Amino acid sequence: MDSVYLETLKLTKFRNHENLSLDLDSRHVVLTGENGAGKTNILEAVSFLSPGRGLRRAPYDTVAMAGGGGSWSVFARLNGAEGEVSIGTGLQETSLGVETQRRVHINGAQAKTADTLLEHSRIVWLTPAMDGLFTGPAGDRRRFLDRLVLAVDPTHGRRVSNFEKIMRSRNKLLSENQIDETWLSATEEQLAELAVSVASARHEMVGLLSGVIVQNNDPASPFPDALITLSGSLENEIGEVAASDLEGEYRDRLRDCRRLDAAAGRTLEGPHRSDLVVHHRPKSMAAALCSTGEQKALLIGLLLAHARLVGEMHGFAPVLLLDEVAAHLDEGRRRALYDMIDTLGCQAWMTGTDRALFTPMDNRANFLTVENGQVRH
Ligand SMILES: Nc1ncnc2c1ncn2[C@@H]1O[C@H](COP(=O)(O)OP(=O)(O)O)[C@@H](O)[C@H]1O
Ligand SMILES: [Mg+2]
């Protein structure tokens, strides 16, 4: 399988990195250094090579180096899915001040939308902030699932944001004193179409991912198989009811629930309420009831299965950003993780405070030490 990897990464006024430049080869990347050195910031910069707000979901202006005027940039040269490519992104300073939306340049030309980035690479991540994924709010799990979908279907991000936008306009229409019936019906029609396409894409991903998990089942693996399903009124019917019928049904339900929704001030039913339900398959236990370590292992297993799926579907594996993952694993699991990322044929970026944790990576990685916004090879 062709490997997609970063050859260079240059950051300018990106958080605590005023001017950082990394030269890499196709091997994995290990970043070690003390707390606060700027390791996660580097992973975050890499995550901006995919559409969206990156692995911290940070507002773009907070990414700019404090006291640095507000502009920032990330530049990378990639051995991408379509060959060598230069990608630049960030907030630019113009004569009118610093822009608020990040621009994306590909080989020097401005891309129409950040979605174009997905032609060159897919990037997925696991961060300590995701440790509570199974016990936290359903919204986090939906977002996690949507990112997994986005890695195989670049139009999914737009689909979800359009759904949310149309839903907000429906909520607004419902809150008005004089409701424009025709306008509201047209909005609900649109909303139903988007809702079914969002739910179908998620449903399909859960099916594909389940297939990969079952296919690669290895009882000896330290990363237990996850049993994943979707819960939600639309999702439960997909596969049993034709998409066009489902659209009609949901549209009718929206019409019938106008009074209730208006009283609640929001749309009470739809794919914005659905959930990704995860079980520890060998133990038949809900993920939320598993130990912290088991939950981490489940999540790693899910992410690796997804990376395998992307590789099989597209011929190239995603770039994996694994923030502080090694520290949570015992030695056996660490070794198993390193071996598994090797077989995926991806460039994995890993961080940790302790260099010794990565000793088994040996000559399989670029080893970098991060110190106060500086990096040593
Ligand atoms: N916009 C910013 N400007 C300057 N420094 C920042 C900004 N945002 C975060 N930092 C600093 O970056 C440092 C490194 O953060 P991080 O990458 O999370 O460290 P770690 O190496 O522990 O992963 C922190 O000390 C934080 O205060
Ligand atoms: Mg960190």
Q: What does the pLDDT look like over 9-65, one tens digit per residue?
A: 999 999 999 999 999 999 999 999 999 999 999 999 999 999 999 999 999 999 999
- From 292, 312, 332, the end of a domain falls on 312
* CATH classification of the domain holding 268: 1.20.1050.90
Count up the domains in the chain and report the number.
Answer: 2
Q: Which ligand is nearest to the CA of 13?
A: 1
Q: Residue 281 has what DSSP assignment?
A: T
Q: What span, in angstroms and rounded, lies between the C-alpha atoms of 130 and 140? A: 8
Of all atoms in ligand 1, which is nearest to the CA of residue 66? 3
Co-location of 187 and 136 in the same domain:
yes
Q: Is the pLDDT of residue 373 over 60?
A: yes
* Cα-to-centroid distance, 33 and ligand 2 (Å): 9
Of all atoms in ligand 1, which is nearest to the CA of residue 38? 17
Q: Cβ distance 221 to 336 under 8 Å?
A: yes
What average pLDDT does range 279-287 have in this prediction?
97
Q: What does the pLDDT look like over 238-267, one tens digit per residue?
A: 988 999 999 999 999 999 999 999 999 999
* CATH classification of the domain holding 68: 3.40.50.300
What average pLDDT does range 317-330 have in this prediction?
93
Residue with CA nearest ligand 1 atom 17 = 38
Q: Where are the alpha helices (DSSP H) in 133-234?
A: 138-150, 156-175, 181-215
Q: Is the pLDDT of residue 1 over 70?
A: no
Co-location of 189 and 279 in the same domain:
yes
**Residue 239 CB burial class (10 angstroms; 0-12, 13-18, ≥19):** exposed
Co-location of 64 and 149 in the same domain:
no
| Average pLDDT across the chain, whole number | 95
Q: What does the pLDDT look like over 65-103, one tens digit per residue?
A: 999 999 999 999 999 999 999 999 999 999 999 999 999
Co-location of 297 and 159 in the same domain:
yes
Q: Is the pLDDT of residue 116 over 90?
A: yes
SS3 357: helix
Burial 32-52 (b: 16+ CB within 10 A, else e): bbeeebbbbbbbbbbbbbbbb
Q: What span, in angstroms and rounded, lies between the C-alpha atoms of 121 and 114? A: 12
Co-location of 181 and 232 in the same domain:
yes
Co-location of 141 and 227 in the same domain:
yes
Of the candidates 228, 226, 175, the one whose C-alpha atom is nearest the C-alpha of residue 202 is: 228
Residue with CA nearest ligand 1 atom 12 = 16
Residue 137's pLDDT band, with cuts at 50, 70 and 90, is: very high
Co-location of 205 and 269 in the same domain:
yes
What pLDDT does 160 receive? Answer: 97
Best residue among 11, 15, 351 to mutate for probing ligand 1, ranked by most atoms within 8 Å of CB: 15
Q: Which ligand is nearest to the CA of 42?
A: 1
Q: What span, in angstroms and rounded, lies between the C-alpha atoms of 350 and 41? A: 12
Co-location of 231 and 166 in the same domain:
yes
* Cα-to-centroid distance, 211 and ligand 1 (Å): 39
Of all atoms in ligand 1, which is nearest to the CA of residue 42? 17
Cα–Cα distances in angstroms (integers) from residue 191 to residues 187, 200, 266, 267, in the given order = 6, 14, 14, 11
Residue 246 lies in domain:
131-312
Of all atoms in ligand 1, which is nearest to the CA of residue 351? 23
Co-location of 137 and 241 in the same domain:
yes
What average pLDDT does range 173-196 have in this prediction?
95
What pLDDT does 117 receive? Answer: 95
What pLDDT does 239 receive? Answer: 84
- From 312, 343, 362, the end of a domain falls on 312
What pLDDT does 372 receive? Answer: 83
What pLDDT does 327 receive? Answer: 86
What average pLDDT does range 199-228 have in this prediction?
95
Of all atoms in ligand 1, which is nearest to the CA of residue 31? 21
* Cα-to-centroid distance, 372 and ligand 1 (Å): 9
Cα–Cα distances in angstroms (integers) from residue 241 to residues 9, 50, 196, 281, in the given order = 48, 34, 11, 28
Q: Is the pLDDT of residue 3 over 90?
A: no
Q: Cβ distance 76 to 9 under 8 Å?
A: yes
What average pLDDT does range 359-366 have in this prediction?
94
Residues with CB under 6 Å of ligand 1 are 15-16, 33, 35-41, 62, 64-66, 370
Best residue among 29, 41, 74, 354 to mutate for probing ligand 1, ranked by most atoms within 8 Å of CB: 41
Co-location of 307 and 323 in the same domain:
no
Co-location of 295 and 182 in the same domain:
yes
Q: Cβ distance 12 to 90 under 8 Å?
A: yes
Co-location of 70 and 83 in the same domain:
yes
Q: Which ligand is nearest to the CA of 128?
A: 2
Q: Is the pLDDT of residue 2 over 90?
A: no
